[in-house]
A and B are shown apart, each in its own frame.
Chain A
Amino acid sequence: MAESPLAPRGATRIWGHLWMILGVFVVVFPVYYVFIASTHSTQTILRPPLPLLPGPEGVANYRDAFSGGIDRIGGVSLWRLLGNTALIAVGIAVGKIAISMASAYAIVFFRFPLRMAAFWLIFITLMLPVEVRIQPTYKVMVDLGLIDTYAGLILPLIASATATLLFRQFFMTIPDELLEAARVDGAGPWRFFRDILWPLSLTNVAAIFVIQFIYGWTQYLWPLLVTNSNEMNTIVIALRKMISFADAETPWNLVMVTSVLAILPPLLVVVLMQRWFVKGLVETEK
């Protein structure tokens, strides 16, 4: 590396660091800012500029938020909001993986009439995001009685053309000999899946899980449409309700705590599962 004519010399390298530090600062600052705000009192928050170091109210703010503070402004406990959001995020991620793997398995390892038609039917949903069919989809939800239910929040979002495509692509790289050998040994579709395919798919499953968990956690338009009751709010929707009805009485310190808690779980998942996340993102989308 050292003798390569490409190895950047001292000054270039230092400039690289300086620019990266500036870039990282801009990228991280908004999250840092809300974290700092969550450790100050409402009075301090409302009197700019905000100090740039954590304040003394941190523990008190978080304790208050978890023990009834959010109920007073949002009408529902912080635990419930986090629970709802986690349930939806995990439900969507697991649901997508399950039905996409099943469809990809059917399309790759079986031959049946209308196989490609089924594939295209799934594939074309790429072109029908929720945003372009808001009103009629809402009507379906009402007709099926799915408003304010977890099923309503999860089911419509688990169809996934991208996950199906990814699993299909991956299954097609499985050497034919593996399946032949399995069939010679008398393995049926379920045995082959459980003993051979599933263990081989784990990295892809992890990658898709991270991406879809983030997708589920950060949903906005859908929960906004299909929930009316505060009890069914996700933390993101609850937060938006808090700030849109803000007045002189709004306890901003608790709003900031809620923001931090809305960001923290997906942030931890992305950072801790970074390896799978980056692989999944860069490889699926290309």
Chain B
Amino acid sequence: MTDLPQNTGQKLGLVIDLDTCVGCHACVVACKGWNTENYGAPLSDQDPYGADPSGTFLNRVHSFEAYFDDAPAQIIHFPRSCLHCEDAPCVTVCPTGASYKREEDGIVLVNEADCMGCGLCAWACPYGAREMDAKAGVMKKCTLCVDRIYNENLQEVDRVPACVRTCPAGARHFGDLGDPESDVSKLVSERGGVDLMPEQQTRPVNKYLPPRPKDSKAVMHGDSQLEPVATEATGLIAWVDRMLEKLP
């Protein structure tokens, strides 16, 4: 068993806007690229050009349909990665101490040197956010780009996770969710950000901004129809002439 820190200094995490995510997978591949080259073992791909290509990804986008009684179905694009939970069951279940939550910022990481690849943490995670790398035999997960966000070799503006930096629609936000005055906390408050599966009592740090109402009266702005000024062309021509005569 591995202990969780009592309190973390910051609660760094992501805010993901489901109203804006177009499902382009930019975040998926930027993450794959950065984390293949950086933090720990590269993210490997098995059978990459064959019948059943299967690689390690720390972030995936799922698309699903939502149905409504009084409106057409919708497609929701749902990016999924580690939520850096405050009560992270993947940490407490780890038999070697490899899985841990950082005291200073709350990021959940795997110390690959101590990971024996038993996979208990992946079983414990209710979100399916951990992936065993088939080549390296160690557990991989979102690091919140811990090797970017403090990286002195990057410009300050680039010290954000790769997925946030690359997102073309601006649907991903990064910051300290422990600070109520942070931009991300304000966004969560304005837009009614939610925890994923709160009933699991993991207290996720990451938040999701729900899709705004669509196709409903809420987006119709009370318009109904235009009043005709003429029903045929000659009438319109006469109306235009009358109108233009009024102009100086």
Please indicate whether A and B come from the same complex rather than being unrelated chains.
no
Which residues does A use to contact B, with CB under 8 Å? none
